[in-house]
Structure 1
Amino acid sequence: MQCPNIEACPYINSRDGEDIIQYKKQFCYGGYLSCARYNVGNIVGSVPDDLRPDDYEEQAKLINSK
């Protein structure tokens, strides 16, 4: 199942390169429930534009600071 936020995601849509292709495969078109951006957005409400989908350390900081 595709991430419901894929069209509006500034991290994925404003970058190019092999890492973005891998992020799309891993998170956008598959396991978006494990995406740090998706989780922070659902819990905190706003997501920093530069938060990587696999930055779980920053995800924890953002969620715990809420």
Structure 2
Amino acid sequence: MATTEEKTITAKAIDRERYYSLMQVATFMGTTRQTIHRHVGAGSIPAMRAGRAYIVKGSDVLEIIAQRA
């Protein structure tokens, strides 16, 4: 089983124009979907609804990763 660090994807792999699911964002950031969902609910991660799911734009994911570094 892969560790969290092995699952984390580099910022180079994230397309700025694409939209990602909360699970994909969690994988990029090395955390859980529930944690990302809490941040979306609190407004600290911008997201939009796509039906019943939330999606996050790649450029926003890159900004969040840059802020954490």
User: TM-score, length-normalised on structure 2?
Assistant: 0.29
Write 1 or 2 for the structure with the bigger share of strand: 2
TM-score by length of 1: 0.30
Structure showing greater relative contact order (alpha-carbon pairs closer than 8 Å, 6 or more residues apart): 2
Point out the structure with the larger helix share. 1
